Structure 1
Amino acid sequence: MPRHHWLIALGACASVLMTETPVRSQATLPLTQDLNQEQLEEQGLRLIEDAIQLSRFQQFEWAIPRAKLATQLVPNRFEAWYILGTLLVQEGEFAEGIRILKRAESIESSESGIYSILGAAYFQSGQYELAVPELETALALGDESIEVLFDLGNAQLKLKDYAAAIATYERSLDLQDDFWPALNNIGLIYYEQGKIDAAIDKWQQAIEIDPSMAEPQLAVAVATYMQGNQEEGLTLAREALELDGRYGEIEFLDENLWGENLLQATEIVFATPSLKAVFEELTERAFQPEEMEP
């Protein structure tokens, strides 16, 4: 299961800016020749604050223009480039976001947050071999957060560096022992290695932490079916799909880092007549209009 927190470090920037000043900035400047460098700096920092506040409310279409203007007013402040790059990554503009973040890095190479977002951006754009060193740098600079460790573990998983991925997921569990996505993904690795019972054990641990999560429940269902307990496996699969019908799509499972062996097994389970009926029912529900309350 991938998990990305594009904006995990934006709050850190706010602490170094002019937080005592209320956010009042606009995306345009008054037409005057009287603005000196100090005033431009103040306006630029307020724009950065403004962009941060807007991003917290998911108003990226307003935040990005302010961040862009801030890079013009305070081009030597890494925060402006960092915020803009992060917002662009959030909006899926990975190539441009990476370019902007590299500019931030050239100004302040010791800011761990730059590398954590760079690593996430490289991962999301499928450049796993580039994601790993960026995330390792973030960790080396002190950002040993759940998010960075999970992104690193996911990149290592995609590169099939399974031993390293498991070690990284375990580091995240040392920080938070109920972090079920790490347990889930260790289970994904075990299944690819043929350690079926060990995989099921990890998925069961994830389910115990959060029974509402469909992913580990579906994984247990598939593994159970393939071990010969077909009736139980199908029952568990139906229950998992009732929780979240998105997991009925092989493409969605692939996006969530399910490996080749588990995907092949899942296709076998999904091809059974009883599950086909479940898919039809879920599809019908999706297209039914919601009932209006009287």
Structure 2
Amino acid sequence: MKVLPARRIWVKPIAAASAAPHKVSQLRPRVLLPWLLPLLLLAVWQIGAQSGWIAPRILPAPTAVLQAGAHLIQTGELPRHIAVSSGRALVGFAIGGGIGFLLGLLNGAWPIAEELLDSTVQMLRTIPNLAMIPLIILWFGIGEEAKVTLVALGVFFPMYLNTYHGIRTADKGLKEMGRVYGLEPWTLFWRVIFPGAVPSILIGLRFALGMMWLVLIGAETLAADSGIGFMTTTAREFMRTDVVVLGTLVYATLGKLADLVAKGLERTFLQWHPNYQNTARF
């Protein structure tokens, strides 16, 4: 009896082929969903302004705000104020965030440094940032130094606390395993303790980026001769509600961009972290 050779039968991977379109169909609603409520609020705002429910001197229509923004862009005033405010925010963030990060590493890693410095830092943390404005104006005037100092103070504490917390709460099992394998203290810190603290540090970075703009708003509104806060304060004196609303929306947009930067850093540096894999969102 002749035995025929076995033939390979190719079966089209239907499930695999249909998985990608199904994933794309799920991705689209999740991308559009965060914008649903803002667009709905804009529609209600526009309808209310056009129908007269909202007085223009209280809250002008979105179209009027857009017209004001277009005019300020044409004159170059809005880009100049945005550039000035962004420069202040970034310089203050670099100074305050850098110092907070380094001090958090120091106090988290060395108990002696914690005993010497942490209590003082915690006492300073209880002082509201805006309460420091009169004193800082006495020290630095209303120049750039005053506003940069306020931003630096605002971002210092979120970076310090989260860095300190991340270092102190590193996995004790991993640290013990590193000691068993004979890792030197410096190697143990950079290869075991610091990577374990990265999620907490990035949370501090996200809080600091948000605090950066909050403090800058107060600093520029009370004492400034340029920037978005100065633009809105001047517009308030001339009853230009559309420009005031425009400045508020610019602050909100810049804050959202800073938050997107923080999320991008989380996706870049936390791909290895299992908790991030479970909670990551599109």
| TM-score past 0.5 threshold | no
Structure of higher CA gyration radius: 2
TM-score, normalised by the number of residues in structure 1:
0.22
Write 1 or 2 for the structure with the bigger share of helix: 2
TM-score if structure 2 supplies the norm length?
A: 0.23
Structure number with greater CO (CA < 8 Å, separation at least 6) is 2
